[in-house]
Amino acid sequence: MDRATLQIRHNAEARRFEATIDRLLCRCDYRMHGNTMMLVHTEVPPQLEGRGIAGWLVGAAFDHAREHGMDVLPVCSYVGAWARRHPEVEPLLAR
């Protein structure tokens, strides 16, 4: 599996980016505060960990924010660590 074949959905009603793999839900949850997307939780089932899925979900959230002119506030520690490894998203980070 790679990012090109992983189907990530923006579930606006549940306020998350999600993918289902082998009937297991992987997700990156957010809350909105004005024009700021607060990424609050990232979860990948243990049997799917280590495949890059969480990073792809977080990347999809940042892509969505960029496309819609939003700022991003990493609340989840994973998201914060991911953002530090991806300097290209620095302009999107809420100040």
Q: Which residues span the domain enclosing 14?
A: 9-92
pLDDT for the residue 5: 78
For 14, 33, 78, 94, the CA distances from 36, given in Å and listed in that order, are 17, 5, 18, 7
3-state secondary structure 6-65: CCCEEECCCCEEEEEECCEEEEEEEEEECCEEEEEEEECCHHHCCCCHHHHHHHHHHHHH
Domain count, the chain: 1
In a domain, 2, yes or no: no
Written as tens digits, the pLDDT of the chain (95 aa) is 676 778 999 999 999 999 999 999 999 999 999 999 999 999 999 999 999 999 999 999 999 999 999 999 999 999 999 999 999 999 999 98
| 16 touches 31 (CB < 8 A) | no
In a domain, 61, yes or no: yes
